[in-house]
Structure 1
Amino acid sequence: MTPGDVLARAGRLFAERGGAEYHGEAVTQLEHALQCAALAERDGRPAAWVVAALLHDVGHLLHGHGEAHLADGIDDDHEELGARFLARAFGPAVTEPIRMHVPAKRYLCAARAGYREGLSPASVRSLELQGGPMTAAEAAAFEAHPHFAAAVQLREYDDRAKVVGLATPPFDHFLTYLERCLRADRSA
């Protein structure tokens, strides 16, 4: 699969499955992705961060498990699935924050007082399935990762991008970022 094929498939996944409920939240998968990317763009983040924000949950769309996995007590590992799929087209500046956005929630629960209390009920449930807050040793190792800052920022966008009815640019608006990262992010 070429990088262009990966990009085309990601676009199709959002077109075909993006209207699905976003795992117990009040927005769809597509609305959530667009809100995340719009936040990164608004904050003037690098193109790779905007792309990571847009595509961070593509693993949910790839596996198509729907909502049942949470109710059944199953962690779907969507972050790993999405990062592996996207690694065919993007380098680590895109894929590592995606792979790390779930551990970033675990990190923030351990490192930031009051963070857990601000999570939605669905995020609290998935946190339990993902291992709960990090230990001190896990947090120290996480902080040492070169993509730590991008992963934590992505997590913060992920938490905030659940606003019903929020106007965002359409998916096509972000194609420039996607195309730029296809060319520029192969060895990051």
Structure 2
Amino acid sequence: MNRDHDDDPTGAPTPIDALEALFEGAGAEQYLGEEVTQAQHMLQAAALAEAAGAPAALVVAALLHDIGHFQGTVSGAQWLAGTDNRHSQVGADRLAAWFGPAVTEPVRLHVPAKRYLCAVEPAYAGALSAESIRTLAVQGGPMSAAEVRAYEAGPYALDAVAVRRWDDLAKDPAAVVAGFAHYRTLLAALMAEHAARAAAATDR
């Protein structure tokens, strides 16, 4: 674990340490149905976001988009058997303690974004991995026309679509990308910004 300026001066673990521990612990397990671990998958998504020149919040959303897989009550076996673990909602709710909506809402919406793309891009579903196709049915299938309109009206719809596309590409077992430590400074800056905004809102 690479701890630097974001450390608590008392030596207590920071929220960034807690996130890194998830990557090194549960994240080291196989990403169910795919050929990469969960940590490899999320790190690859973040690397793709960074390579695309995405803003900091969207890079972090890509990095943490599947963190809900580590927090829910649905087991891996239940997930494979067809029980939705609502990981996008679980993850976004967890991250809201540390980040604003520019991070949490693309995380929350990255599953609806898959359903959206399946509805509006005929070729999209055909490019999904076998596991993503399987989970699509569990997650509600392609959106209806009314759902598409409601999704498009949301302020983070396009950001979530971007995270979704990086998510779909981040499953290469041969990819070599930066580790979690690469993102610690970025995480610390966004957490500090969120804390400052929360403190300012409280003082009003």
- Say yes or no: TM over 0.5: yes
Measure how far apart 1:71 and its partner are: 2.9
Amino acid at match of 2:58: W
Structure 1 position 64, deviation (Å): 6.7
Aligned to 2:141, the other structure's residue is in SS state coil
TM-score, normalised with respect to structure 2: 0.86
Residue 102 of structure 2: which of 93, 99, 119 is its match?
93
Instruction: Note the residue ranges of structure 1 that are not aligned, 5 or more in a row.
Output: none
Asked if 1:163 is matched to 2:172, the reply is: yes
Alpha-carbon contact 1:92-1:185 (below 8 Å) kept: no
Q: What is the root-mean-square deviation in Å for CA atoms of aligned residues?
A: 1.6
Amino acid at match of 1:103: P
Counterparts of 2:126 and 2:48 in 1: how far apart (Å)?
A: 22
Which residue does 2:114 correspond to in 1?
A: 105
Higher RCO structure (Cα 8 Å, ≥6 apart) = 1
Q: Gapped runs of 5+ residues in structure 2? A: 1-12, 199-204
SS in 1 for 2:104: helix
Q: Structure 1: which amino acid aligns with 2:24? A: A
Quote the residue 1:137 is aligned against.
Answer: 146
Matches within 5 A, 1:6-21: 6-21=15-30
The CA deviation at 1:15 is 1.2
Identity of aligned residues (%): 48
Matched to 1:42, the amino acid is A
Rg: which structure is higher? 2
1:62 matched residue in structure 2:
71
Q: Of 86, 91, 102, which residue of structure 2 is paired with 1:77?
A: 86
One-letter code of the match for 2:182?
Answer: H
* 2:128 corresponds to which of 102, 111, 119: 119
- Structure 2 match to 1:47: 56
Change (3 A) 1:42 1:151: same
Count matched residues. Answer: 185
Query: Does the 8 Å contact 1:6/1:88 carry over to 2?
Result: no
Contact 1:20 1:29 survives alignment (8 Å): yes
1:5 Cα offset (Å): 4.3
Structure 1 partner of 2:7: none
